[in-house]
């Protein structure tokens, strides 16, 4: 396949009603600065008729490519699948719900021509509920605390990336994928531009609270071992507190302050220490689970079929 100047990779889920408008607006926007482009639509096993719509777009325009995954792997893995096929000198990653405006692609491209390898969009206006705002801020606070890095809650996957950056991302062998944190960790020259996020064109986000927490845990566990160090610190702290309490009880017993050991204190201590042990074992189990996922050697995604792709 001939290389394109720019590839647009879009993970798709419940986007049946938006495919035509999405593709049309992308073509209109990209055509302002190049005729060499490809649009890669990745169907993450959407339960609607999305794949049929993608096939229709691919039939109408050979520059539109379709990837159909065997099952629902999740947004991060759908992005990874699309990036594996992207051949452009520059690669745009964006969502399918038209909150990432196709009309902003020329702005991203123009900024990249100033010498940047990565240009990410910062969403200055978010059309989301208070819970999603709160969960986003909470996740980034926890992530920054546990990883020792500084992330931007307003930043998004929407951006333009030099092919060299995507090539390195594709070579990272880790099973757990998290696009933006992994890209930012590569150290390439990057910048941000502020854009306005549009309201969702159809439906609602498929990210439930459960999925958000799962995604947060996967990102944190895959990026840092600080939770393990915190667990070790808690263990040392508990040992120190227990030692000090033992000295206090010994002195209090000699001084006659304690005449009868308390049942409540004993039970509380057992529950507290038991809970702490379970917490430490749980954290350790999360890391062991990720190691298990990695050594199994399962693919991060499975492509069932493609259209207009070699």
- 161 and 261 housed in the same domain: no
- 62 and 203 housed in the same domain: yes
- 275 and 161 housed in the same domain: no
Q: Is the pTM of this model over 0.85?
A: no
On whether the CB atoms of residues 42 and 70 are closer than 8 A, the answer is: no
Q: Which CATH number does the domain housing residue 159 bear?
A: 3.90.550.10
Give the least confident one: 45-54, 133-142, 160-169: 133-142
Instruction: Give the residue-averaged pLDDT of 134-144.
Output: 68
* Helical pair 50-60 and 19-30, crossing angle rounded to 10 deg: 40
- 167 and 24 housed in the same domain: yes
Question: Is residue 82 in a domain?
Answer: yes
> By residue range, what is the domain housing residue 269?
226-296
Question: Is residue 214 in a domain?
Answer: no
- 112 and 238 housed in the same domain: no
Q: Which residue has the higher pLDDT, 204 or 110?
A: 110
Question: Is residue 92 in a domain?
Answer: yes
Instruction: Compute the distance between CA of residue 177 and CA of residue 55 in angstroms, rounded to an integer.
Output: 27
Q: What percent of the chain has pLDDT over 90?
A: 44
Instruction: Compute the distance between CA of residue 150 and CA of residue 47 in angstroms, rounded to an integer.
Output: 37
Longest dimension (CA), the chain: 90
- 37 and 109 housed in the same domain: yes
Per DSSP, the residues of 105-143 read HHHHHHHHTTT-SEEEEEEEE----HHHHHHHHHHHHHH
- 177 and 249 housed in the same domain: no
- 190 and 287 housed in the same domain: no
Q: Judge whether residue 9 has pLDDT over 90.
A: yes
Residues 86-104 have pLDDT tens digits of 999 999 999 998 989 999 9
- 86 and 139 housed in the same domain: yes
Question: Is residue 216 in a domain?
Answer: no
Number of domains into which the chain is organized: 2
The full length of the chain comes to 310
- 82 and 163 housed in the same domain: yes
Coil, helix or strand at residue 71: coil
Q: Find all residues with CB under 8 Å of 122, minimum gap 6, and list them.
A: 152, 154, 155, 156, 192, 193, 194, 195
């Amino acid at each position: 396949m001939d290389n394109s100047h720019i590839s647009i990779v879009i993970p798709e889920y419940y986007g049946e009603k938006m495919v035509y408008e999405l593709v049309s607006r992308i073509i209109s926007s990209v055509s302002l600065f190049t005729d060499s482009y490809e649009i890669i639509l990745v169907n993450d096993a959407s339960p609607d008729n999305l794949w049929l719509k993608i096939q229709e777009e691919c039939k109408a325009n050979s520059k539109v490519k379709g990837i159909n995954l065997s099952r629902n792997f999740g947004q991060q893995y759908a992005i990874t699948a699309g990036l594996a096929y992207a051949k452009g000198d520059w690669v745009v990653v964006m969502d399918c719900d038209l909150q990432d405006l196709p009309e902003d692609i020329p702005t991203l491209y123009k900024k990249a021509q100033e010498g940047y390898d990565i240009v990410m969009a910062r969403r200055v206006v978010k059309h989301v509920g208070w819970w999603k705002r709160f969960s986003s801020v909470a996740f980034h606070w926890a992530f920054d605390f546990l990883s020792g890095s500084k992330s931007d809650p307003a930043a998004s996957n929407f951006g333009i990336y030099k092919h060299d950056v995507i090539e390195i991302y594709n070579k990272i062998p880790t099973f757990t994928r998290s696009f933006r944190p992994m890209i930012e960790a590569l150290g390439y020259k990057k910048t941000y531009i502020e854009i306005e996020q549009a309201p969702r064109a159809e439906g609602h986000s498929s990210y439930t609270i459960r999925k958000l927490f799962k995604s947060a845990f996967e990102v944190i566990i895959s990026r840092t071992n600080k939770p393990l160090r915190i667990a070790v610190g808690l263990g040392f702290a508990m040992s120190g507190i227990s030692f000090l309490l033992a000295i206090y009880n010994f002195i209090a017993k000699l001084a006659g302050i304690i005449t009868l050991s308390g049942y409540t204190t004993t039970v509380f201590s057992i529950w507290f220490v038991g809970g702490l042990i379970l917490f430490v074992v749980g954290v350790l189990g999360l890391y062991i689970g990720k190691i298990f996922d990695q050594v199994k050697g399962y693919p991060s995604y499975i492509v069932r079929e493609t259209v207009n792709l070699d």
